[in-house]
Chains A and B, each alone.
Chain A
Amino acid sequence: MTETSPIDLSTLVRLLRLQVRSGADRLDRPVRGGYVGDLLSDVMGNSREGDLWITRQVHPNIVAVASLKDLAAIVLVNGSEPAPETLNKAAAEGIPVLLAEESAFAVAGKVYALIAGAVPTAT
C-alpha cells in the first residue's frame, strides 16, 4: 500500500456515514491502514498498529484483540449491532466501535481509496 498521511476516524465516520457506538471522544485517532477478518488469531497475527479493523464479529472478545494490537477502531459491517457486553468493554478500554450498513467489501474498498489516495491501476 502507498504510504500517505493518515486520515482520522472522524473523517471516515463522516465520509462513510458510519454510526458511532462507542468511543465518540476518540475519533481524532489516525487510521494508518486496515485489516478485514473474522478469525481472531488472523487479526492478532496480521493486523498492524493504527489499523481500522473491519469485521462481522460482534461479541466482546473483539475488544481485547483491538486493544492488545493498538488498532484504531473496529468497524462492524452489514449493520450488525454489537452485543451489549461488547460496548461495555469497548467503553472501559477506550476502543471506538463503529457500525456500517454496507458489506466488508464496500467498506474496505472505500477506506482503502481514502487512505491510499487512489486505487492503484495496472500499467
Chain B
Amino acid sequence: MADEPLIYENQFNVQGGNFSDAGKVASHIKAILKGFGIPSEAVRKTALVAYESEINIVSYARKGVIHLRLAPDQIVIETIDEGSGIADIELAMQEGYSTATDKIREMGFGAGMGLANIRNFSDIFHISSEPGKGTSLKMIIKWRP
C-alpha cells in the first residue's frame, strides 16, 4: 500500500456534534471523485461509506479526520477520530445495535445500521478502536472492473 502510486490525496476535518454540516465532507469527496471520472457505482459506494463515517464522528467523537486517497485501481477512505471509542466492536457491527442518544435518533440517525452499511459497501473494511480514545476505520473501494 505504501508504494502504491496516488492520483489524488486529501484530508478533511469533521467537528463532533455539528449535525447541521453533517454530510458535507462526503458530498465534497463525491464531487472530487466525479471530477476524476470515476465510475458512478464506485462514487456512490464511496459517498456512502464516507457519509456513514462522517455521521459517526459527528455523533460519537469530539473531532475526526477523513482521509481520501485515489489510486489507479481503488479508492481508500480512512477516518481517525478522538472520541468515546467502541468497547465491543462485534456488538457495534450488529445491525440494529446503537448507543445513540434520543436527540440523535430523532433526526433519523442512530438506527444501528451505519457500520453494517460501511462493511457492506466496502470491498475491504478494517475497524479498530480504543475505548476512551477513539476509533479508526479504513475502507477500500475498487473502482476498476
Contact = CB atoms under 8 A, between A and B. Distances in A.
**Which one of A59, A63, A85, A93 has the greatest number of beta carbons of chain B within 10 Å?**
A59
Given A64-B27, A65-B23, A68-B44, A44 B51 contact: yes
A83 to B, nearest CB: 10
B113 A68 contact: no
B48 A45 contact: yes
A interface SS class:
helix
Interface stretch (A10-18, A34-42, A72-80, A110-118): A34-42
A41 B44 contact: no
A69 interface: yes
Nearest to B109: A40
B30 A39 contact: no
A106 to B, nearest CB: 21
Interface residues of A, number: 22
Interface string B52-88: 1001000000000000000000000000000000000
A4 B87 CA distance: 48
A68 B40 CA distance: 11
Contacts of B44: 49, 68-70
Contact of A68 (B19, B20, B30, B109): B30
Given A45-B113, A45-B117, A69 B48 contact: yes
Contacts of A69: 44, 47-48
Contacts of B48: 44-45, 68-69
Interface in B8-60: 19-20, 22-24, 26-27, 30, 40, 44, 47-48, 51-52, 55
Nearest to A70: B44
Contact of B114 (A41, A60, A64): A41
A67 interface: yes
Contact of B27 (A38, A49, A68, A85): A68
B19 A61 contact: yes
Contacts of B30: 68
B117 A44 contact: yes
B26 A42 contact: no
Contact of A41 (B26, B27, B40, B117): B117
B108 A68 contact: no
